[in-house]
Structure 1
Amino acid sequence: MQRIVLFSGGTACRAINIALARKQVHLTRVVPAWDSGGSSKLIREKLGILSVGDIRQALMTMAHGERRSGDVVRIFNTRISALGEPGDARTEFQLYAEGRHLLLERMEPGLRGAILNYLRTFATAAGPDFDFRNGSIGNFILTGACIAHNGDVNTAIFVFRKLCGIDGNVWPSSLDSDLILSGRLRNGARRAPQDVLTKLSEADAAIGIEGIELTSESGKKPAANNAVIEAVEAADVVVFGPGSFYTSILPHLLVGGVAEAVERARCPLLFVGNILQCRETLGMTLNDVLDRFLCTWRNVSTTQSAPLVQVLANRVLLPFGRSLGAFPYLTAHAETQDAGTGYDLIEDEFEDAWNRGQHDGDLVAERILALAG
């Protein structure tokens, strides 16, 4: 069975994740460990635990791809109402934590008991003043499992997968819970943390990002999750992208040990270019993105080199620039490894014909599997 490791963003790689999950492959998703936004922000600030939002989202995507749609998955994919007062949200949460939701009532007792235990563990740790509004039940369960297993995120993920019947793996690239992603603009200004970079103002996006840093509050260098290292070293192909380049893709290289693990694996390395530019890459070409990716790789690698990267580049058929909504298409110049770039462009119409701006998941999955051999 082919082993695929995918370093990705969230929604950008959803179609590809689903397509691969429906193949006979061993799929591992590696997600960011520096998420600082959304409902998981409150959990991180309150409990000092690794943000679980990206992990939970990837697990739910994996479940969808594997056609897991039972009551457990449905519970994990629900969210507390965003409107109303905090007390209303807490009452709604108690409906789940006390097992009074219909989906929980009809579950097999063992599954129901495990879920209720994790929800109650979370509620106890979060305290009486926690704001549950718009919170993900899946995030609460995953965090409760982490607390119940002495802060071991990998064990919590393993339990979560077993409860949902998910075969594929999802791991954060690091287990460090205090990572902070910051960016330096071309005018020298700094923006942090991750959610601020993701939501750059139009003025900052026009200036552009010069570089990023991944640091920890403890001052230690970010360290790779051993589960990720093991998956990479056993991989038949390692894939980076698609996703937000500076906040979801490039920072993985700043986690100590990731680049070296890929080099040791000696398997094909694939970069899936985005279909569209975004606020992080406004005005850049795919070639610019790749140059920054490879430059960062050389800087962090102990060998100060980078393997040849195969690149899936969406072919724009018209001879002039096009946009979809607020953002132009991300174009590429036809350069190859013969030009000494360090990458080999593979151009095709990778855009989904029915969901403009998104990848055709099946087409990209076929290319990935072809590289895996």
Structure 2
Amino acid sequence: MKKIVLFSGGSACRSINIALCQSGVEVTRIVPAWDSGGSSKVIRERLGILSVGDIRQALMTMAHGEGCAGDVVKICNARISANLGLDDARKEFLFYAKRGHPLLERMEPGLRSAILNYLNTFASAVGDDFDFRHGSIGNFILTGACLAHNGDVNTAIFVFRKLCGINGNVWPSSIDSDLVLSATLKDGRTVVPQDAITTMSEPEARIGVAKLDLSRTSGERPTANSAVLDAIAQADLIAFGPGSVYTSVIPHLLVDDVVAAVERANCPKVLIGNILQCRETIGLTLADVSSAFDFHWRDHGGSSGLFSHILANRVLFPFEKTVGRFPYLTDGLSETPAYMLIRDEFEDAWSRGQHDGEAIAASLLKIMASGNEAGRA
């Protein structure tokens, strides 16, 4: 089975992940471990572990793509109500943790026992005053598994996959729990941490990001997850994106040893361009995005160019057009021997501003087949 590694963020990669799962290849998602916002923030601040939200979301996408829709997946997709008081939210959590939910009752006893054990491990760790509101049951289970296995997130992910029946892999690029992402803007100001970069004001966004830094509060350099290095070494194709360029995709290159591992990998390396601009890329083109990748790639030891192929959505309008708040991302690229530029209509016909997962998957499979043919030649 051919192996594709996707360096990505969260929801932007969903349709592509699903289409690849259904195309008969082995998919490995590499996701961020430095998320400082959302429901994961509360868990991270209370327990001092790495953010599990993007991991759980990617695992649920993998489950969807593989057709896993059992009771465990349904439980892991559930959330605590957001509009409750603290006491009522805790009671709702205990409805799961104390075996009250009907889905738990009809599970095989071993599965049920494992889930209840992880939920109660989580509850014991966070204490009676934890705010469960809008929390993901899947995040609680995954965190509980991490705690139950001595903080080993790779083991927790393996157990979570087995509980849900998921075959594909999802790994954080680093297993360090104290990662902090910061951005230096082109006027010299620093924006930190990750969620502050994602929610920059429009004036800050238009100044633009000059450089990213990923550091540990311990002062040490971020270390690569060994599972990620193994996946890169075995890959038949490595893709970057789509997703939030400066907070979800480029920062993977800032983890020690990732650049060297990608450079050693003898396979196509593909940039999947976003369909729309976002707050992080206001006023930029795909050429600008590619240059940002190239800067951080070379700044962390990369020598030759990172990408062998770039997938660019063909914008059909001769004027600026927006979907919601943001305009389409034009490519601004020119033909060059450095990489193969593939322009096509990669937007989903039914969901404006979103990728057509099947079209992207078909392009990646074609690139991978061409790369394999070139290797055999």
Kindly provide the amino acid, as one letter, of the partner of residue 52 in structure 1.
Answer: V
User: Cα distance, 1:308 vs. partner?
Assistant: 4.0
CA separation in 1, counterparts of 2:122 and 2:110?
Answer: 19
The residue type equivalent to 2:140 in the other structure is F
Unaligned runs of 5+ in 1: none
Secondary structure, aligned partner of 1:28: strand
- What is the match of residue 219 of structure 2? 219
Distance 2:324 2:160 in 1: 37
The answer to whether the 8 A contact 2:287-2:333 is kept is no
Report % sequence identity: 63
Q: Distance in 1 between matches of 2:259 and 2:272?
A: 17
Give distance in 2, aligned partners of 1:180 and 1:320.
39
Q: How does 1:2-151 map to 2 (within 5 A)?
A: 2-151=2-151
SS at match of 2:38: coil
Report deviation, 1:41.
0.6
What does the per-residue CA deviation read over 1:116-150, in whole Å, with 9 as the maximum and x for residues that have no partner? 00000000111111111111000000000000000
Secondary structure at the counterpart of residue 180 of structure 2: strand
Task: Choose from 349, 352, 356 the match for 2:345.
Answer: 349
The answer to whether the aligner puts 1:254 opposite 2:254 as a matched pair is: yes
Between the aligned partners of 1:369 and 1:183, the Cα distance in structure 2 is 34
C-alpha distance in structure 2 between counterparts of 1:265 and 1:284, whole Å: 29
| Paired residue total | 369
Whole-Å separation in 2 of the counterparts to 1:360 and 1:178: 35
Q: Which residue of 2 aligns with 1:195?
A: 195
SS at match of 1:337: coil
The 2-side partners of 1:308 and 1:133 are apart by 42
**CA contact 2:30–2:170 (8 Å) conserved in 1:** yes
TM-score (norm 2): 0.96
Aligned: 1:233 with 2:233: yes
Which is worse superposed, 289-298 or 315-324?
315-324
Q: CA RMSD of the aligned region, Å? A: 1.0
Following TM superposition, by how much is the alpha carbon of 1:321 offset from its aligned partner in structure 2, in angstroms? Answer: 2.3
Q: What is the CA deviation profile of residues 232-291 of structure 1, one whole-angstrom value per residue up to 9, with x for unaligned ones?
A: 100000000000000001000001111111111111000000000011010111001101
Name whichever of 44-53 and 328-337 sits farther off: 328-337
C-alpha spacing 1:146/1:129, structure 2 compared with 1 (3 Å): same
Q: Is 1:363 matched up with 2:322? A: no
Query: Counterparts of 1:222 and 1:53 in 2: how far apart (Å)?
Result: 19
Structure 2 counterpart of 1:37, which letter? G
Give the superposition deviation at 1:320: 2.3
TM-score, L = length of structure 1? 0.97
CA contact (8 A) 1:335 1:344 kept: no
Q: Unaligned stretches of 5+ in structure 2?
A: 370-377
Shift of 1:334: 4.0
Q: Does the 8 Å CA contact 1:297/1:305 hold for their aligned counterparts? A: no
Q: CA deviation at 1:319?
A: 2.2
Is 2:319 the partner of 1:320? yes
